[in-house]
Structure 1
Amino acid sequence: MSAPPNPVLPPAEPVAPSGSHPVDGRRGGGRAWQVLIGGAAVLVLLALCGLAVATLLQNQTKTPPAAQPSDQPVVEQSATAGARDLDSRDTDQLALTAKEVFPGKGLAVSDGRPAYRVLKTQASANCGVAATGEVSDLLARLGCNQVVRATLRSPDGDHLLTAGLFNLTDAASAQRARDQLRQILDERQGRFQGMAAGDDTETVATAAARVGWQVRGHYLAYCLVTRADGERISSTDAKSRDILYDMIEAYLNRSVLERRANGGVTNQPTASPTDGTTNQSSTSGRRSSGN
């Protein structure tokens, strides 16, 4: 009797080595991609966070928060205390005083030069005391309400002079006075009146004089110069020109009115004022319509 046929068995699966487990290739590959994608996402997130922080720091540097003071000081500059606009009495209401314009017995226009001697000062609400004829009438029409003046002797003693300021309504009034004065003086229809300051100073009120005037704001600054001996002054006399410049430009404009305009500060530049000069005759034989 023949033996029965052998049964057909399925092929045996390979046996893993002792202590190991089967490896799923597809599962391991998926984990690797997850790691790579996760790492890339972290890097992108970190980059975005870095950009946000950099932007925030840049904004803080450019614009400090309102509650945090800036490293740079902030300075606000205001107008000079006490400064005045001299174009009108509306903005320059405080009246002049003799003490403001001529504060001492000596008047030095610059350092190192001999001083003019102040002999007499006067402040008056009547501008007619310092002018005669059409000059006086002109000042009254233009609203002059004050004159402050002084009589002085030149450092060498050879000249007497009266100088001062007329207080007019506004700059336009002062300019009209400036424009009309020369014709009045040339036609001898009036004059600036010198102020005697004692027996030896009568010539300042009576002798022929060299006269100058200048406008700044609503003020008319003026000066008349005579020889102490009463002799006529030539229009080309250099000494009288120097005196007019000293009194009108260097002193009344640059010192007195500059100080008033800037509230005590005298070193700021200003526009050049306008002026004029001429001769005026002596009191004897002049034609006058007043005073």
Structure 2
Amino acid sequence: MVYRYESDEDAFVEHPEPGSDLSMLGAGPPPPAGPSPSRFPTPSLPRATRMALPAPEPEPLRAAAPVSPPPPAYASAPPPAYDPAPPPPTGYDPAPAAAAPAPVPRSGGGRLWQVLVGGAAVLVLLALCGLGAAALLADRTPDPQPTPSYQAGAAPSAQPEREDLDSRDTDQAPLTAKELFAGKELAVNDGQPAYQVLKTQSSGSCAVAATDEVADLLVRLGCSQVVRGTLRAPDGTHLVTAGLFNLTDKVSAERARDRIRQLLDERQGRFRGMEAGDDTEAIASAPARVGWQVRGHYLAYAVVARTDGETIKSGDPAVREILFDIIELHLNRGVLQRRADGGTASQPTAGPSATTGTQDGASEIPGD
């Protein structure tokens, strides 16, 4: 339905008269300003991002000014301004929203120290793991053998192996006169007078150093060599002929040692003394004291006589000292010990057992 104005005056009537049709159309309370209420009203809560202001104090009452009646509903009045946040109803004073706490700035220095300490701990752990792995690899890796560097004229540094003196098979080097008597003097004890070396001899025939049954015994037991020498004792009144017989093995040397005493007691042979020039004839012909001892496959012996040819009394301390010096200290602990240290020894050689005796002089000395 379209309403048409009868005249321009009807469209612009500001105050219709009472009782007119226009006043009847505008009867009743005026509609509220603003948008129409919703079917589903929402509670009027303050916005979180908007701070509520305290309610203004009521102003004093004033005389009401005459208010012009509102224009009719059909008047083309401008639309009221829209307020998206309507004020709360009268008498309701909402509490102001609590202000959000200001963010606390974090300490940058503490965070930086934590990063540095953590990084240092990781580096230390990695270093320890690397050292452990390197040590494990070093233990499992065999040491490389160094390549020997050859130097012209350099002496070999290998230590000589020990010799087994129990057999000639393991001690094959022959004896030499220089090995037994290296110089013109033989010093047995430090600080004591030396023996004077008058003559030395090395022979492949053991019979030149013994007579009769004693010589035959040595040959039968495989004696292959004898090295001997004649010395003058430090006291000047005694002469000594001493040396080593080279037998096959230790068993043959021990058999010779045990049999010689019986032959000497029965006067079926003797050890020969060796002359060494003027004033040494007594060592080959005068009564003498003899001693012998076994070490390995060697038989060591010594013959002692007085330079004046007199008979030596039994138990003469000077003769006993000479026999000990020559047989035990020089031949055993000196010559044979050096030989044992220069070869391979599977087991230590048994200690020597010394034996002494007396033999008569001889009228002639064949073979000298």
TM-score, normalized by the shorter chain, greater than 0.5: yes
* Inter-partner Cα distance in structure 1 for 2:337 and 2:289: 25
Superposed CA deviations along residues 237-278 of structure 1, whole A, max 9, x for unmatched, are 0000010011111111122222222239xxxx9863222112
Residue in structure 2 matched with residue 111 of structure 1 by the alignment: 190
* Inter-partner Cα distance in structure 2 for 1:241 and 1:103: 24
- Report how many aligned residue pairs link the two structures: 249
Q: Spell out the pairing of 1:17-36 with structure 2 (5 A cutoff).
A: 17=49
Matched, 1:57 2:57: no
Normalising by structure 2, report the TM-score: 0.59
Question: Structure 2 residue aligned with 1:87, among 148, 156, 166?
Answer: 166
Residue in structure 2 matched with residue 134 of structure 1 by the alignment: 213
Further displaced range: 53-62 or 210-219: 53-62
Tell me if structure 2 keeps the 8 A contact 1:235–1:278: no
Tell me if structure 1 keeps the 8 A contact 2:165–2:349: no
Tell me if structure 2 keeps the 8 A contact 1:127–1:147: yes
Q: Spell out the pairing of 1:1-291 with structure 2 (5 A cutoff).
A: 7=38, 8-11=40-43, 15-17=47-49, 54=128, 56-58=130-132, 60-61=134-135, 64=138, 66=141, 80-81=159-160, 83-263=162-342, 272-283=351-362
RMSD of Structure 2 on Structure 1 (CA): 3.4
Tell me if structure 2 keeps the 8 A contact 1:212–1:276: yes
Aligned-residue offset at 1:18: 5.5
Aligned-residue offset at 1:68: 8.3
* Inter-partner Cα distance in structure 2 for 1:101 and 1:228: 23
Aligned-residue offset at 1:134: 2.1
Aligned-residue offset at 1:83: 4.2
2:196 alignment partner, SS class = strand
Aligned-residue offset at 1:58: 4.3
1:273 alignment partner, SS class = coil
Tell me if structure 1 keeps the 8 A contact 2:293–2:327: yes
* Inter-partner Cα distance in structure 1 for 2:50 and 2:128: 57
Residues 193 and 67 of structure 1: is their aligned pair in 2 closer, same or farther, counting only changes over 3 Å? closer
Residues 6 and 14 of structure 1: is their aligned pair in 2 closer, same or farther, counting only changes over 3 Å? closer
Aligned-residue offset at 1:229: 1.3
Normalising by structure 1, report the TM-score: 0.73
Find runs of 4+ consecutive structure 1 residues off by over 4 angstroms: 1-7, 46-53, 58-63
Aligned-residue offset at 1:222: 0.6
Residues 218 and 68 of structure 1: is their aligned pair in 2 closer, same or farther, counting only changes over 3 Å? closer
Residues 222 and 68 of structure 1: is their aligned pair in 2 closer, same or farther, counting only changes over 3 Å? closer
* Inter-partner Cα distance in structure 1 for 2:349 and 2:131: 49
Residue in structure 1 matched with residue 8 of structure 2 by the alignment: none
* Inter-partner Cα distance in structure 1 for 2:126 and 2:286: 90
Q: Which has more radius of gyration?
A: 2
Further displaced range: 8-17 or 216-225: 8-17
2:318 alignment partner, SS class = helix
Residues 82 and 191 of structure 1: is their aligned pair in 2 closer, same or farther, counting only changes over 3 Å? same
Residue in structure 2 matched with residue 30 of structure 1 by the alignment: none
Further displaced range: 2-11 or 187-196: 2-11
Structure having the higher helix fraction is: 1
Tell me if structure 1 keeps the 8 A contact 2:164–2:349: no
* Inter-partner Cα distance in structure 1 for 2:44 and 2:254: 129
* Inter-partner Cα distance in structure 2 for 1:10 and 1:68: 90
Residue in structure 1 matched with residue 70 of structure 2 by the alignment: none
Tell me if structure 1 keeps the 8 A contact 2:240–2:302: yes
Residues 167 and 61 of structure 1: is their aligned pair in 2 closer, same or farther, counting only changes over 3 Å? same
1:274 alignment partner, SS class = coil
Residue in structure 1 matched with residue 64 of structure 2 by the alignment: none
* Inter-partner Cα distance in structure 1 for 2:143 and 2:325: 56
Unaligned runs of 5+ residues in structure 1 are: 20-42, 70-77, 285-290
Tell me if structure 2 keeps the 8 A contact 1:225–1:240: yes
* Inter-partner Cα distance in structure 2 for 1:63 and 1:234: 78
Superposed CA deviations along residues 76-96 of structure 1, whole A, max 9, x for unmatched, are xx9732643322222221211
Tell me if structure 2 keeps the 8 A contact 1:207–1:226: yes
* Inter-partner Cα distance in structure 2 for 1:270 and 1:54: 56
Tell me if structure 2 keeps the 8 A contact 1:178–1:275: no
Superposed CA deviations along residues 64-109 of structure 1, whole A, max 9, x for unmatched, are 364889xxxxxxxx97326433222222212111122112222121
Unaligned runs of 5+ residues in structure 2 are: 1-27, 52-117, 145-156
* Inter-partner Cα distance in structure 1 for 2:245 and 2:257: 11
